[in-house]
Structure 1
Amino acid sequence: MKNKFLYIAILAASLSYAQNAARHWNGKRCAVVLTYDDALNIHLDKVIPTLDSFHFKGTFYLVGSSRVVSERIPEWRAAAKNGHELGNHSLNHPCDATLPGRDWVNRENDLSRYTVARAVNEVRINNSLLKAIDGKGQRTFAYPCGDFTIHDTLYYNALRNDFVGARGGTSGFPQAKEVNLDDINAFVEDGTTAAQMIAQVEEAEKAGSFIVFLFHGVGGEHPMNVDAGEHRKLLEYLKKREKDIWVATMVDVAKYIREQQK
């Protein structure tokens, strides 16, 4: 009888250890980061109220020169005060016009015509603007168009100390200790259904990893768009899985990863 009780105790302890060992994302099985690019009206009008209704916080990558920023500063400030991250998406959103499919990039915002100094200065100017809005000294960066280099030079090298991390645009499910904080993996969502996004979350969980969703339009206002109803279904799923899934801003997850890599 004693052996039987000892076996049960050992089995229970083993199961408890296995469950706890799998919960290495702030005590949960995986992390999810909801990011939204380009400072769109719909982010303020629809996305933030929807996130707030679920008590989730998102990361909004703002382009400093956008009128949606300059004309709606009080609303962005209120969003930041409520826990959402205002991330840096540069001052003018420069993209490399020499790459395929970049006919829409105008000459003034062609990253291939920038100097490294100009790119760095514009990002830092945008940081000053964002700090004036939210008063915060820590945030993350997102590469416009996912472009890293100016004539083979990684311009973020000069900005590494200005940010907690930088979100890229390459998908993947790395372990926390393997994450490159200069190029944090992200999944670009365009026309994606809730079922597809939920499957991505489940893959991240299975891998013991995390997932960063990269949204633009949610219900319109951008050529890269996800239906608002599908976006809401994803949030409903995440709410139901709150015990197992940590939904947080990019800056908070990047800080957590940084701690794990020490």
Structure 2
Amino acid sequence: MLNRRPLYLSATFLLAGHLAGHAQTTRTWNNKQCAVVLTYDDAIDVDLDNVVPALDSVKLRGTFYLIGSSPVVARRLPEWRRAAQRGHELGNHALMHPCDGSLPGRGFVTPDNDLSKYTVNRAVSEVRANNTLLNAIDGQTARTFAYPCGDRQIGGVYFYEQLRNDFVAARGVTGGLQTATQVDLTNINSYMINGQTGEQLIDLVKKAQQSRTVLVFLFHGVGGGHSLNVDLKAHRQLLRYLKAHEQDIWVAPMVEVATKIKQAQQSPATPAARP
């Protein structure tokens, strides 16, 4: 008679491993289906005029990546401080927002802020100077970084390597949904938003729920203020969906989600139980 026990044991181990992985993913997302991070770049007026009030109205928190040299930071510093006090993260988007002017389509890059002309030491120093400024605003020492224009290299060198100990993680600009184990904390995926409808934004969230992954939104203008923009109605629809489904969706600033991911990546996987 055919011995089916080895096949049974193999199937049992596979199922146990799958369930253990599923449980670990759920724990990473605060015992919810997925994580959603709302990020807003460049420290522009609409962040304070439109976004912070919208988030506060539904008691959701986001991450605002501030350019230290932005006049909106200097002119409205008390408002940024109040936003941080309400739980929003003030992330680091570099002091001068340098982008690689040698790449195609980078006519907007000025000679003074051309990352391709920077040294690695200059890039690192400016990012750390911005951290000092942000700490003076919010008193926080743990935060995340976002690459200006998504540019990560200077002369083939990944400058963030010297900044790993300064941040919990860094956000990139490549779209994609990932499990905690798939995330690269030096270049977290994000979806750049420009003109999408509320339904399209919500559809991304539903995909994250189904795949039990982390979804990072990258916004610039919300209701204007930037060439990359989403209208207020679409943004409001997204927030309402997230609030209505908060029992299934963990919405938190990048620093909190990245900290959970780092903990999950550093802890050994739960061993499969033996029959």
TM-score normalised by length of structure 2: 0.87
Q: Which residue of 2 aligns with 1:257?
A: 261
1:23 maps to 26
Deviation at 1:210, TM superposition (A): 1.0
Matching of residue 94 in structure 1 with residue 98 in structure 2: yes
Structure 2 letter corresponding to 1:110: D
**Residue identity matched to 2:205:** V
Amino acid at match of 1:133: I
Residue 241 in 1 paired to residue 242 in 2?
A: no
Q: Percent identity?
A: 58
Secondary structure, aligned partner of 1:180: coil
Q: CA deviation at 1:206?
A: 1.4
Structure-2 separation of matches of 1:47 and 1:124: 26
- C-alpha distance in 1, partners of 2:91/2:62? 10
Q: Tell me, in whole angstroms, the C-alpha distance in 2 between the residues paired with 1:23 and 1:150.
A: 38
CA offsets 1:169-212 (integer angstroms, 9 cap, x no match): 11112210121000011000001111111111111111110100
1:122-160 deviations in whole A, cap 9, x for unaligned?
000000000000000000000000000001100000001
Q: How far, CA to CA, are the matches of 1:80 and 1:198 in structure 2?
A: 26
Counterpart CA distance in 1 for 2:47 and 2:179 is: 30
After superposition, what is the alpha-carbon deviation per residue over 1:81-111, rounded to whole angstroms, capped at 9, x for unaligned? 1100000000000000111110011100000
Is residue 51 of structure 1 aligned with residue 61 of structure 2?
A: no
If asked which structure has higher relative contact order (CA below 8 Å, sep 6+), I would say 2
Partner Cα separation in structure 1 for residue 231 and residue 118 of structure 2: 35
Are residues 1:162 and 2:166 paired? yes
C-alpha distance in structure 2 between counterparts of 1:103 and 1:160, whole Å: 30
Residues 45-80 of structure 1: CA distance to partner in whole angstroms, max 9, x if unpaired?
111011000000010000000000011110000000
Please say if 1:41 is aligned against 2:41: no
Q: Whole-Å Cα distance in 2 between the matches of residues 261 and 113 of structure 1?
A: 36
CA RMSD of aligned residues (A): 1.4
Q: Aligned to 1:60, what secondary structure does the other structure show?
A: strand
User: 1:116 pairs with 114, 120, 128, which one?
Assistant: 120
Give 1:4's aligned residue. Answer: none
Q: In 2, distance between residues paired with 1:124 and 1:210?
A: 27
5+ residue gaps, structure 2, are: 1-18, 267-275
Under a length normalisation based on structure 1, what TM-score does the superposition of the two structures give? 0.92
Once the two structures are TM-superposed, the CA of residue 219 in structure 1 deviates from its matched residue by 0.3
Q: What aligned pairs does 1:172-187 form with structure 2 within 5 A after superposition?
A: 172-187=176-191
**Alpha-carbon distance, 1:39 to partner:** 0.2
Corresponding residue of 2:271: none
- Give 1:213's match in structure 2, choosing from 199, 213, 217: 217
Structure 2 CA distance for aligned equivalents of residues 137 and 104 of structure 1: 32
Residue 136 of structure 1 pairs with residue 143 of structure 2: no
CA shift for structure 1 position 23:
3.1
| Residues 5-28 of structure 1: per-residue CA shift (max 9 Å, x gap) | xxxxxxxxxxxx89x847341110
The AA in structure 2 aligned to 1:136 is Q
1:51-90 matches, within 5 Å, as 51-90=55-94
